[in-house]
Amino acid sequence: FFLIFKGIGLADTHAGLALTYLTFNLPYVVWLMMSFFKQVPRELDEAALIDGCGPFAVFRRIVLPAALPGIGAATVLSFVLCWNEFLFALMLTGQTTKTLPVAISSLVTQQGTAIGAVCASTVLAITPMVIVYFAIRKLLVAGLSLGAVKG
């Protein structure tokens, strides 16, 4: 993988790392979102089409808002996977493009561990995850009541 990226000039770049994360997270997100889109009742689509909406308007006004909890869940899970990823970041980044997990691991050396710096950077690393959790938890809970049509 590194040799391919080095050959096309994407090693040690942010674009190469973003492309790697996109490549490995996209199938997971598509698989996750398929189940959310399948849970949107077909009756809502048909009712909107009868009321005069076009296919894109049905998607934008009906399906997308109904699947918003799934989009939020996929976003959070994709963010977590990218934020905590270590192996590709270690292999594909250099001094100028290293990610936080790689930078934290570089604080552990043969001469010793800078324990204060490791603790501070670990708190720094988990802070965005905590913020994202508290910002989106209501959206994730809303996914439990996804159905909009009474049976």
In angstroms, the CA 82 to CA 96 distance is 18
Cα dihedral 126/128/130/133 (nearest 10): -140
pTM (predicted TM-score): 0.73
pLDDT of residue 57: 92
Residue range 32-41: average pLDDT?
86
Task: Copy the structure tokens of residue 83.
Answer: 């934020």
Coil, strand, or helix at residue 109? strand
pLDDT of residue 141: 64
What radius of gyration, in Å, describes the C-alpha atoms of the chain? 21
Lowest mean pLDDT among 9-13, 34-38, 99-103, 139-143: 139-143
Average pLDDT, the chain: 85
Write the single-letter amino acid at 75: T
pLDDT beyond 60 at 22: yes
Coil, strand, or helix at residue 96? coil
pLDDT digits (tens, 9 = 90+) for 96-127: 888 889 999 888 888 888 899 999 999 999 99
